[in-house]
Structure 1
Amino acid sequence: MTQEIYVAEPVKAPLRPRGWALWRLLSLSGAVLVSLAGLRVITGHDMLTDSGTINTTITFAVPIGLAGLGGLWSERAGVINIGLEGMMILGTWFGAYFAWSTDNPWIGLLAGVLAGMAGGLLHAVATVTFAVDHIVSGVAINILMLGAMRYLSILVYSDVPGAGAAQSPMAPSFPVWDLPFVADVLGPVADSGVFLVADLASLVVGVTTHMPALTVVAILMVPLTYLLLWRTTFGLRLRSVGENPDAAESLGVPVYSLKYVAVTVSGGLAGMGGVFLAIVASQIYQEGQTGGRGFIGLAAMIFGNWRPGGVAMGAGLFGYTDALQVRGGGAAVHALLLLLGVTLLAVALWQVRRDRKGLAVFGALVAVLLLAWYFSTDSLPRELATYSPHITTLLVLSLASQRLRPPAGIGKQWRASRS
């Protein structure tokens, strides 16, 4: 009598079609636009999707997105970069100073990026060469740059009219670009109030008018990062360094060099975000103007699951809540309570289908509280609305934590094997 032996074949994960990630990103963006359009019709707050809000959202999202992209470059190579805030501070000071002293914003941009890269290089020397703890090095850079820029301000601006220890003189601005005829053609459509049609028109007008040149450059950093890190041999090697540096070294990948490149580029992107704050957002360097955007950029990177498109969406989310509270105060942000409550109810139902009753009950309870808050009030207190971007950061990270997949070698000290 023979006994048959069955060998189980390995289960293969379904292959996703090419372009699936882009399709998913576009679908999610479309769902968000439809939700906001419906919320606008229900609540009557046209500010939720008008072109001014879209334009302001981009202004607030760009420095956060650049910091998030900087964190992505560094952490994809395995180095945690808490020092993004300090590198942004370098970008604000040097960008404003060189733009003012040369009367050329593009030279200010170059100086701010190079200053940020110098900060990234310092972080790379500490963490890659001397194996300093990544968090300790990053925090030290943040503290050091804040004090160093105040010292430079006292040294340079003490005799300059309108400047001083905490601010620079006015810097020249970047040119502002508009697509011709777009506002004239789509403006009446945006003002019509028709569901989704008016919102799409406002979106197009918002992203094609009154656009500073640096904003366009910053937006292009998102697809450029994707192409370099996911569509080139260089990017594959850099990401392999963040996943498994030992395996990468065994295949001849220059681990140390790629870590240095990644962290230096990370600092340059953060420096560009600082230049944006100093020249585009305010046309002046002011002490403390980064306002924790380096840390919010890290939150956007985590929310985006260490992917460029996700970083852009996270930055857009934080920029949108910031734009609403600046333009509309508590009343505009108050409308989001309804959308958030309904979304959490949908998430709770989805968790029930996945047999996660604990999370479903928690989500439903929070949703009921938010809906009760919405229907019992007319607006949020101004103090609470001001902190809505930070509250959004905490809420989004708590909801997205289950689907995160950081690089396997992130934050680990590594030394080359000795043959």
Structure 2
Amino acid sequence: MATDQIARIRTYRYTMILMALAVVATIAAVRVITGADRISSPGTLRAAIIAACPILLAGIGGLWAERAGIVNIGLEGQMLLGTWGAAFFAYHHGPYVGLLGAAGMGLLGGLLHAVATVSFGVDHIISGVAINIISLGAIGFLAKSFFEDLEGGGPRNLSGYETLPNITVPGVSDAALSVAERNIFVVSDVAGAVAALTTRVSLLTVLVVVLVVGTAWLLWRTAFGLRLRSCGENPQAAETLGVDVYRYKYVAVMVSGAFAGLGGAYLTMVASSSFTVGQTGGRGYIGLAAMIFGNWRPSGVVAGSLMFGYTDGISLLPNNGPLVRSLLLLIAIFLLAYAVVKYRSTERVTAGVIAAIAVLLLVWFATTDAVPSAFTGMTPYVITLFVLAVAGARLRMPAADGKPYRRGGAG
């Protein structure tokens, strides 16, 4: 590896570390200013992690498909299939088989999308939307057919199945909880994060981390990953080098569906201990947004999922008005910082618009004591749209993403 490339990697890592420290310090400052100690409490952060994981699984699933050149709008439907698969197989065979069932149902949804887009050349958006509609109808039918006569079941729901165990790290968890309760600037905020990551952590959450790290390694550190990503950048060139583009696209979209299915399993076995028709609540779409926000990179998908998961987690907490109010100040600070970056890069108009939005949020924060409860439920979706609008200019999707490909086109 060239010396300048090593230097760039080191600079990038140092920049990321400094940015992470700045984010933690900002959150701590907002906590002190607003008095909203729950903003970084272990309970809030644990709720954020639980809310982020299904979004992250959907986002990483979308990453697999789009890096191979297939737009997978069907993530929402594949997650829906995963919720039913997890509940059905967990009820009859236990939680571990439930995970396999969820992944298998999602994989079937991915296979359907691959057949439509890769083999038959159907428009990716049309195919994905069709899968979402079909999946919602299918799980309604399956729930009524298989759950209605079960104990704890009904035509649209099922409960009473075993869920996955939780893990607590002895010593570390108690120490972190103790420090978090002292409200020490920055220290308690970091301790809150440590406590959330070491107290009653679901085994599936650990699996999510393994899958994300494994995806990053496989797609960016192996020959398989290079070939798969080449299918999303220039499939014709990949074909001339002997890559079976169809096979790689099929594998990518099926893995994408399996990841989305596991996201559905997370909703039915961790976020909740029961199944309900339509349980995803649009999280497949938010996962897709997290992937776009993350610029089609695993680290970016993680950051986007945590951000969206945090807002989603806050919206589900009781008495969350003061928390959402403190979130207004936090977002305003980050927007002002982003406006400065845009201004320094000579994007004066964009910087002005972002700064104006930040000022409006500051005014809202200063003139209210708590945000109305009706708005808190909208928070994740508003943040999703807003972030995509702000970050859209810097995104760079795979060059052949969503474009039709026919074998032999290289000739």
Give TM-score, length-normalised by structure 2.
Answer: 0.95
2:285 corresponds to 1:292: no
SS in 2 for 1:187: helix
CA distance in 2, matches of 1:21, 1:307: 14
Contact 2:29 2:185 in 1 (8 A): yes
Mapping 1:151-162, distance limit 5 Å: 151-162=141-152
**AA matched with 2:392:** S
**AA matched with 1:159:** D
**AA matched with 1:54:** L
Mapping 1:279-358, distance limit 5 Å: 279-327=269-317, 328-358=319-349
Offset at 1:219? 1.7
Offset at 1:164? 1.6
Contact 1:325 1:332 in 2 (8 A): no
2:379 corresponds to 1:392: no
Aligned to 2:232: 242
Offset at 1:282? 1.2
CA distance in 2, matches of 1:324, 1:61: 11
Higher radius of gyration, 1 or 2: 1
2:392 corresponds to 1:401: yes
Offset at 1:356? 2.3
**AA matched with 1:371:** L
Deviations 1:135-163 (CA, angstroms, capped at 9, x unpaired): 11111111111111111112112322331
Runs in 1 of length 4+ with deviation above 6 angstroms?
Answer: none
Aligned to 1:68: 59
CA distance in 1, matches of 2:265, 2:10: 33
User: CA distance change for structure 1 residues 249 and 21 in 2, over 3 Å: closer, same or farther?
Assistant: farther
Name structure 2 gaps, 5 residues minimum: none
User: CA distance change for structure 1 residues 352 and 25 in 2, over 3 Å: closer, same or farther?
Assistant: closer
Offset at 1:198? 0.9
Aligned to 2:97: 107
Moved more, 357-366 or 405-414: 357-366
**AA matched with 1:169:** S
2:183 corresponds to 1:183: no
Give TM-score, length-normalised by structure 1.
Answer: 0.94
Aligned to 1:41: 32
| Counterpart pick for 2:77 among 69, 86, 92 | 86
Give % identity.
Answer: 48
Aligned to 2:125: 135
Aligned to 1:50: 41
Contact 1:96 1:283 in 2 (8 A): no
Name structure 1 gaps, 5 residues minimum: 1-13
SS in 2 for 1:285: strand
Aligned to 1:221: 211
SS in 1 for 2:121: coil
Contact 1:128 1:256 in 2 (8 A): yes
User: CA distance change for structure 1 residues 67 and 143 in 2, over 3 Å: closer, same or farther?
Assistant: same
Contact 1:62 1:219 in 2 (8 A): no
2:124 corresponds to 1:124: no
Offset at 1:21? 5.0
Query: Over aligned residues, Cα RMSD in angstroms?
Result: 1.6
